[in-house]
Amino acid sequence: MSSVSCARLINGSAWLMIKTKTPLLSKIYRYIPVGLTLSVGIGLSIAATVTAWGWANNQTRLQLQEQADNLTTTFQRKIDEYYYMVVSLGAFHEASDQVPQDDYEAFTQHFLSIHSGILTLGWLKPVSARERPSYEAQMAKMGFANFSIYEYHPVKKQVIACINRG
């Protein structure tokens, strides 16, 4: 197979005609610019996608880390508040030899109103071994029929306290 290629010079006066053979390989050469353009375009698209994916992952990781830091800080502040409350209650008890139930309830009412994480604070009267039978009888009269004083056994098990212990 042969073909004729024509060219016209810029001044418009001369024509050049070249007769060439067009083998199959020369037909493929005309698609090289299209293939290169397509390859470069796909390559740049892949590179842009990988870059955007990496950036998005990094942003997500940074946001997660920031949220975790905020939660940790908030949690630590709450723990500190509750710790200071316990320290205050300890100082209140150390300030007096006897803390009456009414004073204790008045003092702790403030903590219950501002700390939603605290459900209740209890007042326990110290009871000596000598006072124990009368205290248990008094509690039974108040409606606590099966009232007993408990203690923790060394194996972390709650057991009814022995009568002879103080």
State the pTM of this model: 0.49
Which residue carries 């005609």 as its tokens? 17
* 24-44 tens-digit pLDDT: 566 777 788 889 999 999 999
Quick check: 4 and 18 in contact, CB under 8 A? yes
pLDDT of amino acid 24:
59
Q: pLDDT value at position 23?
A: 63
Q: What is the pLDDT of residues 28-85, one digit of tens each?
A: 777 888 899 999 999 999 999 999 999 999 999 999 999 999 999 999 998 998 898 8
Cα diameter, the chain: 134
Q: What is the pLDDT of residue 65?
A: 97
The encoded tokens of residue 124 equal 């326990």
- Give the separation between CA 133 and CA 110, rounded to whole angstroms: 34
Helix (H, G, I), strand (E, B) or coil at 9: coil
- Arithmetic mean of pLDDT, 2-27: 57
Selected residue with higher pLDDT from 138 and 166: 138
DSSP 95-158: T-S---HHHHHHHHHHHHHH-TT-----------TTTHHHHHHHHHHTT-TT---EEE-TTS-E
